[in-house]
Structure 1
Amino acid sequence: MKFGLNQKLMTVGTLALLIMAAILWFSNRGITQLSTDITLSKEMSNMQQLVNLMQEQSTQYKQNAPRDYESYNRDLKVFFTQLQDNLSTLKTQVESVAHQFYNRSSTTDLLLDGMLIEKNSQSFIAMEQASEIFDRGFREQIGDNPDEPRLEWGNDYILNDTSGLFSSISSAHLNFEALVEAQRKATVKFNWLAIGLIGLVMLLLFFWFNQTIVKRVIRVAKACREVALGNYGLRINDNSQDELGQLVEDFNHLSGRSKSILNLLNQLHIAPSKQQALEVIRQESRAIVNVSGVYLLLPNKESFACSLIASDQPQEELVGKSLLSNDTTIENILSKEYVLLSDLLSHTVSNKQAHFSKYLLNQTHAHSVLSLPIKSHNKSGVIVFTRNSKQGFQETQIQSLVSLSPLFAKALL
Structure 2
Amino acid sequence: MNFMRNGLQWKVLTGLVILTVVTVGSQLWNTSLYRTSVARYTVLGEVQQLETTGEALLGRGQHYVNNAARDFESYARDVALFKRELIGDVARFDDTLKSLQLSIAAHDAIADDALVEGIARLDGAWADYRSGLHEQLGPDENEPRLEWGARFVSNNQPAINAQVHALVEQFQAATDSDSRKASASGIGSVLVSLIVTAIALLWFFFGVTQRIRATVTGCQRVASGDFGYQMPVGAKDELGQLAIAFNSLSSRTRLVLSLLDHLQRRSNLATSFVELARESAPYIPTDWLALIEVSDSGNDGTVRYGVSSTPKTALLNERVSLLGLFAQRDFAKASTTHLPDLRRHTVEHGESRLARELARLGYQSALLVPLNTSEWRGLLVFAHQSPGAFVEDQVKLMNSLAPMLANGLARNARVQEAEPALLES
**How many angstroms apart in 2 are the aligned matches of 1:240 and 1:37?**
52
Report the CA distance shift for 1:201/1:273 in structure 2 as closer, same or farther (over 3 A).
closer
1:357-400 deviation digits (Å, cap 9, x = unpaired): 279xxxxxx99776899xxxxxxx99987467999997423431
Name the residue aligned to 2:222.
227
Distance 1:152 1:162 in 2: 15
What is the alpha-carbon distance in structure 2 between the residues aligned to residue 263 and residue 390 of structure 1? 22
Q: 1:272 to 1:133 in 2, by over 3 A?
A: same
Structure 1 residue 10, shift from structure 2 partner: 4.3
Correspondence for 2:266 among 268, 272, 285: 272
The C-alpha deviation readout for 1:4-38, integer Å capped at 9, x for no partner, is 23544444544444344433332222121111111
Measure the CA separation in 2 of the matches of 1:294 and 1:78. Answer: 131
The corresponding residue for 1:97 is 100
Map of 1:346 onto structure 2: 328
Quickly say closer, same or farther: Cα 1:34–1:154, change in 2 above 3 A: same
Deviations along 1:294-346, one digit per CA (max 9) or x if unpaired, are 99xxxxxxxxxxxxxx99569xxxxxxxxxxxxxxxxxxxxxxxxxxx86543
Residue aligning to 2:29? 26
AA aligned opposite 1:84: I
Match of 1:51 among 54, 57, 66: 54
CA distance in structure 1 between the partners assigned to 2:245 and 2:23 by the alignment: 38
Deviation for aligned residue 1:39: 1.6
Tell me by how many angstroms 1:233 deviates.
2.5
Q: Secondary structure at the match of 1:161?
A: helix
1:155 aligned partner, one-letter code: A
List gaps (5 residues or longer) in structure 2. 295-300, 306-323, 336-353, 356-367, 412-425
User: Normalising to structure 2: TM-score of the pair?
Assistant: 0.63
1:132 aligns with 2:127: yes
Unaligned runs of 5+ in 1: 110-116, 296-309, 315-341, 348-353, 360-365, 374-380
Partner deviation per Cα, 1:71-104 (whole Å, 9 max, x = no partner) = 4344333332333233122112123324434664
Q: CA deviation at 1:291?
A: 7.4
Give the Cα separation in 2 of the matches to 1:401 and 1:387.
Answer: 10
What are the within-5 Å matches in structure 2 for residues 9-408 of structure 1?
9-62=12-65, 64-101=67-104, 104-106=107-109, 123-162=118-157, 164-238=159-233, 240-269=235-264, 271-272=265-266, 292=291, 312=303, 345-346=327-328, 357=333, 386=379, 395-401=392-398, 404=401
The structure-2 alpha-carbon separation of the partners of 1:70 and 1:410, relative to structure 1 and needing over 3 Å to count, comes to farther
Aligned-partner Cα distance in 1 for 2:381–2:280: 13
> Counterpart of 2:231 in 1: which secondary structure?
coil
Distance 1:261 1:346 in 2: 27
Structure 1 counterpart of 2:266, which letter?
Answer: P
For the residues of structure 1 that align with 2:117 and 2:29, how far apart are their CA atoms? Answer: 27
Residue type of the partner of 1:143? G
Compared with structure 1, are the counterparts of its residues 31 and 357 closer, same or farther at alpha carbon in structure 2 (3 Å cutoff)? same
Structure 1 residue 200: Cα displacement:
1.7
399-408 vs 185-194, which moves further: 399-408
Distance 1:214 1:229, change over 3 A: same
2:321 alignment partner in structure 1: none
| Greater mean alpha carbon deviation, residues 92-101 or residues 195-204 | 92-101
What does residue 377 of structure 1 align with?
none
Once residues 396 and 275 of structure 2 are traced to their aligned partners in structure 1, the CA distance between those partners, rounded to angstroms, is: 15
Task: Classify 1:394/1:65 alpha carbon distance in 2 versus 1 (closer, same or farther; 3 Å).
Answer: closer
Deviation (angstroms), 1:402? 5.9
The question of whether the paired residues in 1 share the 8 Å contact of 2:372 and 2:403 is answered with no
Q: Deviations over 1:251-280 (max 9, x none)?
A: 2222222332332243234x0379899869
User: Match of 2:29, as an amino acid?
Assistant: F
- CA–CA distance in 2 between the matches of 1:24 and 1:90? 39
The Cα shift of 1:132 comes to: 2.2
Indicate how the Cα distance of structure 1 residues 4 and 399 shifts in structure 2: closer, same or farther if over 3 A, else same.
same
Instruction: Specify the SS of the correspondent of 2:207.
Output: helix
Task: After TM superposition, give the deviation of residue 410 of structure 1 in Å.
Answer: 11
Mark the CA change 1:119 to 1:404 in structure 2 (over 3 Å): closer, same or farther: same
Q: Distance in 2 between matches of 1:183 and 1:49?
A: 24
Separation (CA, whole Å) in 2 of partners of 1:195 and 1:286: 56
TM-score by length of 1: 0.65
Q: 1:394 to 1:202 in 2, by over 3 A?
A: closer
Q: Residues 176 and 32 of structure 1: is their aligned pair in 2 closer, same or farther, counting only changes over 3 Å?
A: same
Q: Which runs of at least 4 in structure 1 moved beyond 6 Å after TM superposition?
A: 273-282, 366-369, 381-385, 388-394, 405-413
Q: Is the 8 A contact 1:264 1:280 kept in 2?
A: no
Superposition deviation, residue 70 in structure 1: 4.0
In structure 1, distance between residues paired with 2:293 and 2:234: 37
TM-superposed deviation, 1:172? 1.7
